[in-house]
Amino acid sequence: MSLISPACRDALQHWLEGLVALSGRSTNTQAAYRSDVNDFLSFMTLHHSERQGLAALARITVSDMRAWMADQRGSGVGARSLARKLSAVKSFYRWLAEREGFEPTAVLSTRAPKFTKKLPRPVDEDAARALIETVELQSTNDWVSARDVAVVTLLYGCGLRISEALSLTGADAPLPKSLRIVGKGNKERIVPVLPAAQAALDRYLVLCPHPLDKTKPLFRGVRGGALNPRAIQAAMAKARQQLGLPATATPHALRHSFATHLLSAGGDLRAIQELLGHASLSTTQTYTAVDTARLMEVYDRTHPKA
């Protein structure tokens, strides 16, 4: 038997549907939010020894929230994960309180645990170029090699997420001087396309055995279907092993590298925010910390010691 009452289950579903409709949340985000809130509601059922209906949820106290937080930490949930879970619960409660007309202060006033944010892990410019060159060597099939090079060149040259690169269709070819990209939350942005990316895609299109179709994915798998991102991740993994690069040298690290290298070259933070499609400038500002950290590493290695 479900630990969650039918009324709570229906409310959770309606909230999630609203998130998708209003914010364009991805399927993965929706699944994570469902799991986080579901776990919270299940805990409250066990904590109070009865299934929590909507009226009971309105009576949750600060003490109840502390008990949930303690249970999560005792179960090995890290500070970062617990902060994410609490964020989901608060979002659900804001919606539920407005819908049901109760005061959600006990939930909304709960403080998230402090944690140190992980900085993006870009690769330096030489390593980025070496990765693209080495990715080309991971397949004995010329068109597959050209495909993989075209994808990683887009990641590094345009700052795309791998999902964004693989969402391109035949209608986007040949690549124009700028691309309209629909990113997270259905947020649109315009990104310039470097000649190197255009050339890489042109070579792929010449060699690709599958006919170009404006309604189908631009990047194809060996059998002609949509390219699975795992194929690019695998090619990158082999390339970084050959180059002796750390496990953080992933396809997404090329997006981080795009931003960090632009910043190092004097790029404007607001412009980089727009190119990356970040909703908040604070997200883009993490790259300033990366740039400063790299500068201090160089300083420590080269500055004459007293």
Confidence class for position 174, pLDDT limits 50, 70, 90: very high
Residue predicted with more confidence, 256 or 142: 142
- Catalytic residue chosen out of the listed positions 33, 156, 204, 287: 287
Tell me if domain 6-108 and domain 125-302 are identical in fold.
no
Q: Is the dihedral of CA 236, 241, 247, 248 positive or negative?
A: negative
E strand segments, the chain: 178-182, 188-192
Annotated active-site residue 156? The verdict is: no
Q: Which residues contact 170 (CB under 8 A, 6 or more apart)?
A: 212, 213, 214, 215, 216, 217, 218
Q: Is the pLDDT of residue 31 over 60?
A: yes
User: What token pair was written down for 287?
Assistant: 């790259």
- Catalytic residue chosen out of the listed positions 161, 220, 240, 256: 161
User: What token pair was written down for 23?
Assistant: 């914010």
Annotated active-site residue 240? The verdict is: no
Annotated active-site residue 305? The verdict is: no
- Catalytic residue chosen out of the listed positions 84, 90, 121, 184: 184
Strands 178-182 and 188-192: antiparallel
Annotated active-site residue 33? The verdict is: no
Confidence class for position 293, pLDDT limits 50, 70, 90: very low
Domain 125-302 falls in which CATH fold?
A: hpI Integrase; Chain A (1.10.443)
Annotated active-site residue 270? The verdict is: no
- CA 251 – CA 239 distance, rounded (Å): 11
- Catalytic residue chosen out of the listed positions 34, 84, 94, 252: 252
Q: Where are the domains of the chain?
A: 6-108, 125-302
Confidence class for position 2, pLDDT limits 50, 70, 90: low
pLDDT score, position 172: 93
The pTM of this model reads 0.61
Identify whether the C-beta of residue 227 lies closer than 8 Å to the C-beta of residue 237: no
Select from 174, 241, 178, 179 the least CA-distant residue to 208: 174
- Catalytic residue chosen out of the listed positions 51, 255, 256, 261: 255
- CA 202 – CA 4 distance, rounded (Å): 54
Annotated active-site residue 93? The verdict is: no
Residue predicted with more confidence, 176 or 3: 176
- Which tens digit of pLDDT belongs to each residue from 74-116? 998 888 889 899 999 999 999 999 989 999 999 999 988 876 6
CATH number of 6-108, picked from 1.10.150, 1.10.8, 1.20.1330, 1.10.287: 1.10.150
